[in-house]
Structure formats: C-alpha cells, structure tokens
C-alpha cells in the first residue's frame, strides 16, 4: 500500500437548504466521533475569516453588492484557498466534517438563473467527498426556525429552487437524510452512515471532484 493511501481521514460533507439543521448535526457528529477516539475537525464554507470570506460575508449581509458571477467565483475561491490544508489533514488521518461545499455553490447560484454547468466549472478538481449527507427538510419547516430571513438567500421561494437544484446534483456517494425527525434520531442515522464511511475510506485514494 502506498503512503498516500495509508489510513487517511474521511471527507464528510453536509449539504442542505438554510435552517435544515446542518450546523447542529455537524457539531453533534464531531462530539460523538471525538468520544470514539477519532481525529476529527469541523470545516465551514463559506469560511468568513479569510479576506475573500470577509467580502462574501458583506455580500451575504447585503452591505456589499457584487455581480452574480463574481459572487459565485468568490465562493469557489474560498474553497480553493482551503484545499491544500484540507488535503494535508486528510492524508495525516484527520476526518473532516464540512458544513457546505461545492454543491451549495452551484445550487444557490443556479437558483438565481445562472447556467448550472457554468457554475460547476470553477469547482472541478476540488477534493471529492467520501459522503455527502443531504439534510432534506421542508422549506415551510425551515422557515419557521429561528433567524430565517436575515441574510440574502433566506426567502421561501428561493429556497425551493435551491432544494430542486440540490437534488439534480446528487451523486452515488450522497445520502439523503430526512431532516424533519428529532435531532437525536437524525444524529443516530448520520452517525451510522459516517462510521461506515470512515472505515471504508481509510484505504481509498483521494479523488478529484467531477474529473
């Protein structure tokens, strides 16, 4: 077995519309895996701490206006600037739990009417996730959860389009988890999927997304 395929960490991505419960589930999953002795870290996109991320943050909070294409490319750049470090960590055996990834980039931008393939291109070649957990929750329930409506995309009609786009992006390594059950039940379901993924990914090479 080559060095690069020795017991690497798994890349676990969470996707879904706003207020689907991703952030809660990411935190619970991390806590559980740490208890089990796994080396695990959380990653969140957009990463609003970098210079590019700060611009994205202003855009989302609507204090900055950007051309749709520029905004899309900034979200993608924000992922690319994290790739080297993520690759290094995965190879060193750290499992990464990622809250949003390229699929969000495409689902949200194409909900504005942009061409889906155009939107996909800048993210071609990112590290391919081992599993994407798609938390599927009805937009009506999501919109009743706290804080909905504060940022640029938090509108019911828009979120419906985003959900539809996400479903078009499904890959064989996606798991659609209904997000309307109790937090603990959803957590148990996710944990069993992720446990299997971590074990199976150990000896697999890292692949490039959409290549």
Three-state secondary structure call for residue 43: strand
What values do phi and psi take at 123, rounded to 5?
A: -95, 0
43 counts as binding ligand FDM under rule CB under 6 A: no
Q: Does 16 contact ligand FDM by CB under 6 A?
A: no
109 vs 201, beta carbon nearer ligand FDM: 109
- Dist. CA 187–CA 26, nearest whole Å: 9
Q: Is residue 110 near ligand FDM by the rule CB under 6 A? A: no
Contact between 158 and ligand FDM by CB under 6 A: the answer reads no
Q: Contact region for ligand FDM (CB under 6 A) — 25-33, 97-105, 174-182, 201-209?
A: 97-105
The stretch near ligand FDM (CB under 6 A) out of 25-33, 99-107, 172-180, 182-190 is 99-107
User: By three-state DSSP, how is residue 94 classified?
Assistant: coil
| 179 sits near ligand FDM (criterion: CB under 6 A) | no
Measure the CA–CA gap between 207 and 78, rounded to whole angstroms. 20
Got the DSSP string for 115-165? -HHHHHGGGTTSBPPSEEEEEE--HHHHHHSTTTTSSTT--HHHHHHHHHH
Q: Is 130 in the site for ligand FDM (CB under 6 A)?
A: no
Residues that bind ligand FDM (CB under 6 A): 18, 45-46, 60, 75, 100, 104-105, 108, 153
């Amino acid at each position: 077995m080559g060095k690069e395929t020795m017991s690497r960490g798994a890349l676990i991505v969470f996707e879904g519309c706003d207020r689907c419960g991703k952030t809660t589930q990411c935190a619970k999953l991390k806590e559980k895996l740490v208890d089990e002795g796994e080396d695990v870290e959380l990653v969140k996109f957009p990463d609003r701490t970098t210079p590019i991320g700060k611009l994205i943050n202003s855009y989302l909070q609507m204090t900055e206006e950007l051309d749709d294409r520029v905004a899309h490319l900034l979200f993608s750049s924000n992922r690319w600037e994290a790739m080297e470090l993520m690759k290094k960590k995965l190879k060193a055996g750290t499992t990464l739990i990622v809250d949003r990834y390229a699929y969000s980039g495409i689902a949200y931008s194409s909900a504005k009417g942009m061409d889906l393939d155009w939107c996909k291109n800048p993210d071609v070649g990112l590290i391919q996730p081992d599993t994407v957990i798609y938390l599927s929750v009805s937009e009506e329930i999501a919109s009743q959860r706290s804080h909905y409506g504060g940022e640029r995309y938090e509108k019911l009609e828009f979120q419906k389009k985003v959900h539809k786009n996400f479903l078009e992006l499904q890959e064989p390594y996606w798991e659609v988890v209904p997000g309307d059950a109790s937090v603990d039940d959803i957590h148990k379901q996710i944990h069993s999927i992720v446990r299997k993924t971590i074990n199976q990914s150990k000896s697999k090479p890292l692949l490039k997304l959409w290549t």
